[in-house]
Amino acid sequence: MLGDGVIRVLVVDDEPPARLQVREFLAREADVAVVGESGHGEEAVSQIRALKPDLVFLDIRMPGMSGLDVLRSAATAGIPYTVFTTAYSHYAVEAFSVEALDFLVKPLERRRFQEAVARARRYLKRDASLSRGLDPAAAEAFIVELELRASRRERIAIGIGRKTQILEVAAIVFVEADGDYVAIHQQNGQVLRTRESIAALKARLPRTSFARIHRSIIVNLRCVRELRTNKRGGYTLVTTTGCHLDSGAKFDADLKSLLG
């Protein structure tokens, strides 16, 4: 903290409106100063190391490096008090929250936001020496629990037009880019189209069963019936629904490893 007791804050979110909302909420806190903001993970790691903020509002799901990856990368320099933010409520692990971490679900609610700031304030003022960074082991435990919850996810909410549909994860055979949309192919033959990106969907699907085999294709490995070598030496996956999906060269090695 600054000598006058001001809490130095870094705001990290890939969406400008989300960063603006955090800044507007923080403007009501007299003892808080926003020292920087970032729209992607790599820059956030650099800013944490350079600015050494006391408090970071950190989005979990961002393109490329996620908020969880940011924490891991910054751990060697000491992790500041971190308040996670996300649009996906399935990451809210209330029972696993530790004193050095908090969690807010978007859209942010002002009362909960104020509670998170108050909690950070208590933590920082209890012992100024703690501002050098929280225990990386505590952060790692929190991260592992989040990822375990994600790997066990059975249903997923997808925005389809003006509606949000809840899909059974096991019913998804594969996902592929389709122009401005992403097409979700299901076991029953139904195809749904969403504006959500391939990268965003990949981040939300269980890592233990879904693999990206091409820059534009994600497949449910449990729905792969056959693996063939194609003419270029790569792979063609035949799904339980009879679809043939060619892997991209850069994904071949990972695919071979995943399928054993």
16-25 residue pLDDT tens: 988 999 999 9
DSSP string, 132-150: G-B-HHHHHHHHHHHHHHH
User: What is the predicted pLDDT for the residue at 21?
Assistant: 93
- Report yes or no on 102 lying in a domain: yes
Q: Is the pLDDT of residue 137 over 70?
A: no
Higher pLDDT residue, 214 or 126?
214
* Distance, CA of 81 to CA of 131 (rounded, Å): 8
Cα-Cα-Cα-Cα dihedral sign, residues 50, 56, 60, 63: negative
Give the per-residue pLDDT at 82: 86
User: Which tokens is 199 given?
Assistant: 């990268």
Total count of residues recorded for the chain: 260
Cβ(18)–Cβ(59) below 8 Å: yes
- CA pair distance 173, 211, nearest whole angstrom: 11
Domain boundary residue, one of 89, 122, 151: 151
Query: Which of 107, 136, 151 is a domain's end point?
Result: 151
Indicate the average pLDDT of the chain: 81
Phi and psi (nearest 5°) for 249? -55, -40
Does the residue 2 lie in any domain? no
Same domain flag for 81 and 199: no
What is the model's pLDDT at position 260? 59
pLDDT at 66: 80
DSSP letter assigned to residue 125: H
126 and 162 in a single domain? The answer is no
pLDDT of residue 151: 61
Domain boundary among 112, 130, 151: 151
Res 124 pLDDT > 90: no
Residue 184 phi, psi dihedral angles, 5° rounding: -110, 110
C-beta of residue 21 within 8 angstroms of C-beta of residue 46: no
Query: Does residue 147 share a domain with residue 24?
Result: yes
Distance (Å, whole) CA 236 – CA 68: 33
Cα–Cα dist 74/157, whole Å: 31
- What range does the domain containing 146 cover? 7-151
CATH number of the structural domain spanning residue 62: 3.40.50.2300
Higher pLDDT, 232 or 99: 232
93 has pLDDT over 60 = no
User: Can you give the pLDDT at residue 1?
Assistant: 58
Q: In this structure, are 45 and 138 located in the same domain? A: yes
Q: Say whether both 124 and 70 belong to one domain.
A: yes
Determine the Cα–Cα distance for residues 221 and 143; give it in Å rounded to an integer: 24
If asked whether residues 160 and 220 sit together in one domain, one would say: yes
Residue 28 banded pLDDT, cuts 50, 70, 90? very high
Provide the angle, in degrees to the nearest 10, between the axes of the packed helices 16-26 and 110-126. Answer: 60
pLDDT of residue 259: 63
Q: What is the mean pLDDT of the segment spanning 69-81? A: 76
- The pLDDT confidence band at residue 243, using thresholds 50, 70 and 90, is very high
What pLDDT is stored for residue 99 in this prediction? 44
Residues 197-220 have a mean pLDDT of 86
DSSP states along 148-171:
HHHHT--EEEEEETTEEEEEEGGG
CATH of residue 160: 2.40.50.1020
Number of domains in the chain: 2
Interval 168-193: pLDDT, tens:
899 999 999 998 899 999 999 999 99
If asked whether residues 72 and 140 sit together in one domain, one would say yes
Nearest by Cα to 14 from 54, 52, 57, 53: 57
Give residue 50's Cα distance to chain centre: 23
147 and 220 together in one domain: no
- Locate 204 and state its tokens: 């939300």
Q: Are the C-beta atoms of residues 58 and 32 closer than 8 Å to each other?
A: no
Query: Do 128 and 11 belong together in one domain?
Result: yes
Kindly report the number of other CB atoms within 10 A of residue 220's CB atom.
Answer: 23
Residues 134 and 207 placed together within one structural domain of the fold: no
Residue 110 lies in a domain: yes
Looking at the structure, do residues 135 and 179 belong to the same domain, yes or no? no
Residues 191 and 74 in one domain: no
